């Protein structure tokens, strides 16, 4: 069971607080036992001062010890749970860092946020409360029943029979409800959370299109499913739960206690004074169960959350070599595809078919082709977003799978269309390319990327936080910051995914100037959609349906009159 496996580090603590809850229930019984003794002695006219004080002391000790034990156990459980939640989130974060970059591009950010934030939180109740509550509930029921049976087995049997009948009503009601209703509810709740996050992330697009986009429709559908699931749960599991809670309440328990006392007294089977302990103890017997029954829903949520967390932690991380190879200093950073094929899953068709190509060092290679031809797939394989299905990719003569991923990525800079800015200072955004860089190096990289002057116009210059009031960048400016990040990293390999796609004519000119400076002396690979931007490339590779169909310079490919020539003609 995934939940049990996930909770293994805190299992000992949960057993300990369960025992503490059970012990607390024993102290809880001291008060009604002492009150019963007081009532009996008072009715028999045998109550004296020492006995009265002893009973009052027992009541005080019982109440105090019970509350202190529960508070201490619950407090300890919360401390352990907080540490567990911290460690679990850290574990998830470290695991996310080890997953292939392609997993992150394919996975919904809403799902990841739900797992890290909400699913981890849903386990809180199981760790922090269930142990104490279950221990106290079971102890109250068992010890209280034993005490009542010692007073009158007929009266106790009547009361326990009532409780059993109530539980039978509950379980029969649960069995009569549609199977999987709780799972449907939790799944609908998860979908609503994910859709809400996606809606918030895409709110600008949604508003621009009058709230009629498919994104809003997904949110609306998720909300409808959640509402329907809520109604079904209330009509299904919610109904027997509500009925059972009412029958377990003090008002509900007065029925068997008072009617039982009246009937048994009429039969001469009990002394009327027994109504006192049965009132005091009897109404508390299911009190723990009253707290435990609602836990069923929280346990179901925790189980569902644990399955999602475990599924994430079970995702295969990027394989790291046991003894990483190293690339000699000064080695030419040429890249070779040796009969590379790739598919995204075992059941999916090949996205790339037997690609063999060389990307020479100190040159610019453009990768072009129709939409869906495999351009982005080919380039991301170089950075090990995914591992190839067959064949191999070599950097400076070394298979990239034999390099430590940190070493591989430190030799590369990837500039995507959106710039990839984070909510931090501009300086830190640039410093991502070289965490130990000085302010002078950051400014030098910004000048090289033709973005220094724009940064100085910001309210706090390089210390301005991206996204704060007055600190916003256009698409072209964001790409120039990404280029500054590449400059400061001084990579051997530069991977560009249509780096001028979001730029206006002025920004495009500045970006092209920066790219020209950045590409010198590096292995540069460019994904291009506008062929006019890569006419001067040293070589152009043309992909179509995952196959390398043409290669050469712009002039050679135009003269060839094939796929590239048709694309060039279409863009004129």
CA distances from 480 to 218, 452, 510 (A): 35, 10, 8
Any domain includes 46: yes
Any domain includes 190: no
Enter the DSSP assignment of 119: I
Query: Which one has a higher pLDDT value, 500 or 267?
Result: 267
Tokens of 443: 């400014």
DSSP per residue over 283-332, as a string?
TTTTHHHHHHTTHHHHHHHHHHHHHHHHHHHTSPPPP--SS---PPTT--
Clarify whether residues 445 and 500 are in a common domain.
Answer: yes
State the total domains in the chain: 2
Clarify whether residues 400 and 284 are in a common domain.
Answer: no
Confidence of residue 294 (pLDDT cuts 50, 70, 90): low
The domain spanning residue 475 has which CATH number? 3.40.50.300
Q: Choose among 456, 517, 439: nearest CA to 483.
A: 517
pLDDT value for 502: 53
Q: pLDDT (tens digit, 9 = 90+) per residue, 306-317?
A: 888 888 888 888
Query: Which one has a higher pLDDT value, 517 or 535?
Result: 535
Confidence of residue 214 (pLDDT cuts 50, 70, 90): low
Q: Which residue, 279, 313, 347, sits at the end of a domain?
A: 313
Q: How is the beta sheet containing 398-399 ordered, strand by strand?
A: 352-359, 335-342, 390-395, 398-399
pLDDT beyond 90 at 194: no
Any domain includes 361: yes
pLDDT beyond 80 at 398: yes
Clarify whether residues 26 and 91 are in a common domain.
Answer: yes
Specify the residue for token string 């049997």. 157
> What's the longest Cα–Cα distance across the chain?
119
Mean pLDDT, range 39-51, rounded to an integer: 78
- Residues across the chain: 572
Domain span at residue 397 reads: 335-570
pLDDT beyond 90 at 435: no
Clarify whether residues 341 and 309 are in a common domain.
Answer: no
Any domain includes 480: yes
Clarify whether residues 143 and 276 are in a common domain.
Answer: yes
The domain spanning residue 110 has which CATH number? 1.20.1560.10
Clarify whether residues 494 and 565 are in a common domain.
Answer: yes
Angle, to 10 degrees, between the axis of helix 250-266 and the axis of helix 153-176?
140
Per-range mean pLDDT, top range of 16-25, 239-248, 311-320 = 16-25
pLDDT value for 252: 78
pLDDT beyond 90 at 541: yes
Q: pLDDT (tens digit, 9 = 90+) per residue, 465-509?
A: 888 888 888 777 888 888 888 888 888 888 887 655 555 555 566
Q: What is the mean pLDDT of the chain?
A: 81
Any domain includes 272: yes
Clarify whether residues 171 and 36 are in a common domain.
Answer: yes
Any domain includes 318: no
Clarify whether residues 159 and 80 are in a common domain.
Answer: yes
| Choice among 21-25, 138-142, 364-368 with the minimum mean pLDDT | 138-142
Clarify whether residues 146 and 261 are in a common domain.
Answer: yes
Q: Which residue, 278, 313, 348, sits at the end of a domain?
A: 313
Any domain includes 463: yes
pLDDT value for 200: 67
pLDDT value for 353: 92
Clarify whether residues 67 and 8 are in a common domain.
Answer: yes
Mean pLDDT, range 234-253, rounded to an integer: 71
pLDDT beyond 70 at 4: yes
What global pTM score does this model have? 0.63
Q: Which residue, 265, 282, 313, sits at the end of a domain?
A: 313
Clarify whether residues 156 and 260 are in a common domain.
Answer: yes
Query: Which one has a higher pLDDT value, 494 or 188?
Result: 494
Coil, helix or strand at residue 412: strand
pLDDT value for 319: 81
Any domain includes 554: yes
Clarify whether residues 244 and 362 are in a common domain.
Answer: no
Query: Which one has a higher pLDDT value, 58 or 514?
Result: 58
The 10 Å CB-count burial string (b at 16+, else e) for 309-339 is beebbeeeebeeeeeeeebeeeeebbbbbbe
């Amino acid at each position: 069971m995934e939940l049990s496996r996930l909770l293994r580090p805190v299992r000992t603590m949960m057993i300990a607080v369960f025992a503490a809850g059970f012990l607390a229930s024993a102290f809880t019984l001291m008060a009604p036992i002492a009150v019963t003794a007081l009532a009996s002695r008072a009715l028999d006219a045998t109550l004296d001062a020492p006995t009265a004080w002893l009973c009052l002391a027992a009541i005080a000790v019982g109440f105090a010890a019970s509350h202190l034990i529960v508070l201490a156990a619950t407090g300890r459980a919360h401390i352990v749970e907080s540490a567990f939640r911290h460690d679990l989130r850290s574990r998830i974060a470290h695991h996310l860092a080890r997953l292939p970059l392609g997993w992150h591009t394919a996975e919904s950010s809403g799902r990841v946020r739900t797992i890290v934030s909400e699913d981890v939180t849903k386990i809180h109740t199981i760790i922090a409360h269930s142990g104490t509550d279950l221990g106290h509930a079971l102890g109250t029921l068992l010890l209280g029943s034993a005490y009542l049976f010692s007073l009158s087995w007929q009266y106790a049997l009547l009361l326990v029979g009532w409780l059993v009948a109530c539980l039978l009503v509950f379980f029969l009601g649960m069995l009569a409800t549609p199977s999987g209703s709780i799972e449907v509810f939790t799944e609908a709740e998860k979908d609503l959370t994910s859709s809400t996050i996606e809606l918030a992330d895409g709110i600008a697009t949604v508003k621009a299109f009058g709230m009629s986009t498919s994104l809003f429709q997904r949110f609306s559908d998720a909300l409808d499913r959640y509402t329907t699931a809520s109604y079904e749960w209330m009509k299904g599991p919610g109904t027997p739960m509500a009925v059972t809670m009412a029958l377990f309440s003090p008002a509900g328990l007065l029925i068997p206690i008072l009617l039982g006392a009246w009937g048994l007294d009429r039969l001469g089977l009990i002394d009327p004074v027994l109504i006192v302990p049965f009132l005091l103890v009897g109404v508390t017997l299911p009190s723990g169960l009253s707290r435990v029954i609602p836990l069923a829903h929280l346990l179901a949520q925790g189980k569902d959350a644990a399955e999602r967390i475990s599924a994430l932690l079970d995702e295969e991380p990027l394989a790291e070599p046991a003894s990483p190879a190293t690339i000699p200093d000064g080695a030419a950073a040429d890249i070779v595809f040796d009969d590379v094929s790739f598919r995204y899953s075992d059941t999916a068709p090949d996205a790339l078919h037997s690609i063999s190509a060389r990307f020479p060092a100190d040159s610019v290679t453009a990768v072009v082709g129709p939409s869906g031809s495999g351009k982005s797939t080919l380039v991301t394989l170089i950075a090990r977003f995914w591992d190839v299905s067959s064949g191999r990719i070599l950097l400076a003569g070394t298979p990239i799978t034999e390099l430590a991923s940190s070493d591989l990525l430190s030799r590369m800079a990837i500039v995507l269309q959106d710039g990839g800015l984070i909510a931090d200072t501009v300086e830190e955004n640039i410093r991502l390319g070289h965490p130990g860089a000085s302010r002078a190096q950051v400014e030098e990289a910004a000048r090289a990327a033709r973005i220094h002057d724009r940064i100085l116009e910001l309210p706090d210059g390089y210390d301005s936080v991206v996204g704060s009031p007055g600190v916003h960048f256009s698409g072209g400016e964001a790409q120039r910051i990404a280029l500054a990040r590449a400059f400061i990293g001084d990579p051997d390999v530069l991977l560009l995914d249509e780096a001028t796609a979001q730029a206006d004519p002025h920004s495009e000119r500045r970006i092209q100037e920066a790219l020209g400076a950045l590409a010198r002396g590096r292995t540069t690979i460019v994904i291009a959609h506008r062929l006019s931007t890569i006419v001067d490339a040293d070589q152009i590779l043309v992909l179509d349906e995952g196959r390398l169909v043409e290669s050469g310079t712009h002039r050679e490919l135009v003269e060839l009159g094939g796929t590239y020539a048709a694309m060039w003609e279409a863009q004129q």
